[in-house]
Structure 1
């Protein structure tokens, strides 16, 4: 299969629409779970908004970070699969280690593009962002463990080594203390339920794709996982506006239902006429000045 046929396969109808709709249903189910979970914790409108969007944006960031890392692994596999000869093949064989480092940097930039431009994550502070990205590393480790020990593939050993280098480079720095590391680990542990939801969605999509032969097995598992993440990123971009509208509408309804005061608003109150200030009689002062 040539590269053009390979790309065209993933845009065949109706498989493309069905897979996209299935992804949208799974992402919507995630929003519904977050909605009822947040609603059960508190009925305060401000707390509901912050908690709901915090959970949703953690899920988004997990998909963004995982997809960006899987992306550079998929590029490595596709180059190895399709690049058989030519001048670029010689360059790739000579400098692929350095090119992979460039791919790693590009993956980090793509992650920042997704969570700052594509979908702006406004409800996560710096600690929450660091913890969910660390959880994303655990998410990737589980996927790679599946490839190595369950799928029993040795084709990704080099990629696993580069991934561990990326993980160390992003989360280990010279001025980091052991206390800060434990604090980040503790925050990342709170994101485990979100990671489990992401793995369940990924498993359902991959199982459906393989059962219908929409995901081609000979293209590599890592490539199919990357395509699945691309679908999830596209659906997140399309659907993330809907929860924002619904939560904003919920807040407006709650404010409209509050008890109104019988006192008219300050803007509508009639202003009282200003009383004229008494004019002081300065005649005596003038007389004294004249006498002098």
Structure 2
């Protein structure tokens, strides 16, 4: 057991910069897909009237919906990375435990670790889940502050982030076949997802609304899985990421690169250069006094 088991010494700064540029290209493709999806999606008329929205209204709605979808995508990737951090921590700790068990003489000082993991494994896993939630909040509030999504939207997207990681773990289970490493993590987060849908004071309509919200944002889930899987595959193919650590660590590294790019993207406000806020339309020019004669009161005419 050595540090090289989880860190690739050949992944130099130069290679990291190359992988960062590749990640930037991948996120740019994601932004383009979100742009196209926002264009094609239905946007309700803000006035609530059954009339065709004006060009100005369409531009304003597209501006708001596009940047909202971008921030929801960022929120999902933050949530997924936080969950991935927990899954990665569990796999590493469990691997260390499996390595040192029965070899206390070879690995001096691990007796207390073995005893703690044997007796308090469930509590440690619960602590890791809490730490992942804390990490999610810190990134969401301080590092990459997202102000457009509502609390309900963030809650739905975070649940989608859990489902995102479960899909990855299911893929790793079927590909590698090492269910002992990933099944416990999936069971924990499946329980959390079920608890998010069904809790003691929830009504059936709450369940339906939560399900609708998750399905409505499922295209973001698909886009996120496509970019992360493509980047991870490329990282393993180029030798940047290691295959001998259950793959989960390499995939976690990929998500860290994605978060770095999203941090730059959000805080530099680059997307606002491509999709700018529409300018206000000037009021139409007309001769008020020619039409004023048809009204008894000028204020009534102005209405």
Equivalences for residues 263-282 of structure 1 within 5 A: none
Tell me if structure 2 keeps the 8 A contact 1:131–1:187.
yes
Whether the aligned pair in 1 keeps the contact of 2:30 and 2:227 (CA below 8 Å) is no
Alignment map for 1:55-94 (pairs within 5 Å): 55-82=69-96, 84=100, 85=107, 86=110, 87-94=112-119
Range 90-99 or range 20-29, more displaced: 90-99
* Cα distance in 1, alignment partners of residues 176 and 39 from structure 2: 40
Distance 1:24 1:100 in 2: 33
Aligned counterparts of 2:136 and 2:262: Cα–Cα separation in 1: 14
- Rate the CA distance shift 1:113–1:169 in 2: closer, same or farther, 3 A: farther
Q: Does 1:114 align with 2:128?
A: no
Q: After the TM superposition, which residues 23-102 of structure 1 pair with which residues of structure 2 at under 5 Å, given as runs?
A: 23-39=23-39, 44-82=58-96, 84=100, 85=107, 86=110, 87-102=112-127
Matched, 1:15 2:41: no
Indicate conservation of the 8 Å contact 1:10/1:16, yes or no: no
State the partner residue of 1:192.
218
Query: Could you tell me which residue of structure 1 aligns to residue 191 of structure 2?
Result: 165
Post-superposition offset of 1:26: 0.9
Per-residue deviation at 1:90? 3.0
Contact 1:135 1:189 survives alignment (8 Å): no
Once the two structures are TM-superposed, the CA of residue 182 in structure 1 deviates from its matched residue by: 0.7
Q: TM-score, normalised by structure 1?
A: 0.78
Query: Among 123, 128, 134, which residue is 2:148 paired with?
Result: 123
1:197-252 deviation line (CA, Å, top 9, x unaligned): 1111011111111111211111112222211111111110111133354168x337
2:128 alignment counterpart: 103
Aligned residue pairs total: 260
Give per-residue Cα distances to partners, 1:230-284, cap 9 Å, x unaligned: 1111110111133354168x337x34x857989xxxxxxxxxxxxxxxxxxxxxx
The alpha-carbon deviation at position 64 of structure 1 amounts to: 1.2
Per-residue deviation at 1:23? 0.9
- Cα–Cα, structure 1 residues 65 and 10, in superposed 2: closer, same or farther, change >3 Å? farther
Rate the CA distance shift 1:10–1:163 in 2: closer, same or farther, 3 A: farther
| Unmatched tracts of structure 1, length 5 or more | 263-292
SS of 2:264 mapped into structure 1: helix
Where in structure 2 are there 5+ consecutive unaligned residues? Answer: 42-54, 101-106, 287-303
CA RMSD of aligned residues (A): 2.8
1:113-172 deviations in Å (ceiling 9; x for gaps)? 222222122111133222222322322232122122233222222222222233334443
Alpha-carbon spacing, 1:40–1:56, altered in 2? closer, same or farther (3 Å)? same
Shift of 1:51: 0.3
